Structure 1
Amino acid sequence: MRIHLTAAAAGFLLLAGIGAAAADTVIIQPEQETVIREYVKKQPLASVTLPGVELNIGTALPDTVELREVPDVQYRYVVIDNRTVLVDPGTRKIIKVYE
């Protein structure tokens, strides 16, 4: 009986971890996507280089990187290595990389 409870507990913890990872996924509504794309196109920024920082979703950017506001959207953006990156300002984590 004890072995079954341990296996069940391990399974539960595994599923809880998967749920937590899925909760970090940010969904940008189509209306917001349009606002972001149009604003970034009208307000181009100079590209910065961040050696050693990979532009992946979930990567946190250093505090030295200046994030620019997009009006009416809770996220910020910056251009790194000629790629526009959308960032959660609270965590400074990348939520989307535009090609």
Structure 2
Amino acid sequence: MFLSFIPAWLACFLLFGTSQRQTVFVKPLPVIISRVVAVILLCAMLSQLFLYLPTVSALITGFALVCCFLPLITLISAYKKYYLVFASFLVCVLSIVLSVFEGGL
């Protein structure tokens, strides 16, 4: 279940990267391609959640993840790029470690 955090984080990061006001990239990411990839990542997140939770709970959890990660990425990126890279690394490592403890790998 914790592995679903990684595609959710990446999808929110892609959606943030398409903004004209983002400062992570030199110029914004292409909107259409980023949105298509974000939808694919969100579907991967939901399919991962559907394996462990009932349908309604998985949908609520997925919605909560996206609603949590989008503002978090925006707030972190207002500071140095290092913080965003560190936060991404932290989310990925914690997701993998927690899924190992859960027995999900």
Category of TM-score, reference length = shorter chain: under 0.3
**Larger fraction in strand:** 1
**Larger fraction in helix:** 2
Rg larger for: 1
